Amino acid sequence: MKKLYSTIAAAVFAATVTMPTADACTRLVYLGPDNTVLTGRSMDFSIDIPANLWIFPRGMERSGQVGPNSITWQSKYGSVAASSWDISTPDGMNEKGLVANMLWLVASEYPEFDARGDTPGLTISAWGQYALDNFATVAEAVAFFQDEPFAIVSDFIPGTDKFTTVHLSLSDASGDSAIFEYIGGKLVVHHSRDYQVMTNDPPFEQQLAIKSYWDTVPGKAFLPGTGKAADRFVRASYYLDMIPQTSNPQIAAASVFSVVRNVSVPYGIGTPEEPHLSNTRWRVVADQSNLVYYFENVLTPNVVWVDFANVDFSANAPVKKLALDQGEIYAGEASAYFAASAPFEFKGL
């Protein structure tokens, strides 16, 4: 046993010591019986990242927000989204059960964007929302994005020195998953139902290599316990396989939340020397089988959720907002508390 722990410790050190610093997040997909699918994620960040919940109907006219050479589109599907600073959609689910999650990835390097060139652009802040607006399934999104019909255009987060570097994960109501990363200026797509867990860094190909090692280690004997991305990946993978296999929506949601909380970083953790240990700000569990979107802010004592059965996504319906960024407290099914609002503007150039 002592030899086992020594071997594990050496491998963990090798996998994490050279890992670049990053703001941390974890995403996982639960595949249960009777086509039960839920996606959970934590939003971990080194600075406060205030979130509000939004209801976006079908038929919204959108722009890529990068100047005259921006793409334009009209939303095909309605969605519920969590915003960041009301300038971006880092998380959300549309009415077909497609879930989009954006997570930090330091290694991201996007193609050069020519504002006067032939390739139009899309601000990175709207990347997730574009997917929610346009696709019902992961396969549809993969077929579209892999041809790179437009450039993803990034910029600094307003008021900070943080240049936005994220990768995008999508999952759908069938349990299919895909991760989209820009490595060395090239789009890399990882597409498989087996890709249930991802964190921020390292790039997903390396995350799979780390998982292949830990698959040989009995989780009941040893699990890595730090807040580093590689350790969170291992714990999320292990516990995702251990939680109850059920089609009961209440138990399934509670089980997924329990795993997301296990891989969350305690509030107040994080120093300038180790920004990769960024505390969790909020958590989401999206029930793609029953179309319920759960949201939990760590600074408030309750979980709120939106049952899509109570939402009007028709093209003539108003955009609605549930303000949560000033410490507002709600509990339970909250669709009745959303108020009509002008849509926020995605941060662009």
Segment 59-75 shows an average pLDDT of 96
- Nearest by Cα to 199 from 163, 176, 166, 225: 166
pLDDT interval class at 345 (50, 70, 90)? very high
Catalytic residues: 25
Segment 53-69 shows an average pLDDT of 97
Q: Average model confidence (pLDDT) for the chain?
A: 87
Q: What is the rounded (10 degree) CA torsion for 204, 209, 215, 219?
A: -70
Segment 166-175 shows an average pLDDT of 96
Domain locations in the chain as residue ranges? 2-340
Give the other-Cβ count within 10 Å of 344's Cβ. 19
pTM to 2 decimals? 0.88
Find the range with the poorest average confidence among 137-151, 233-247, 259-273, 281-295: 259-273
pLDDT interval class at 176 (50, 70, 90)? very high
Instruction: Specify the higher pLDDT residue, 304 or 107.
Output: 304
- Nearest by Cα to 306 from 319, 317, 322, 318: 322
- Nearest by Cα to 7 from 226, 242, 218: 218
**CATH fold group of domain 2-340:** Penicillin V Acylase; Chain A (3.60.60)
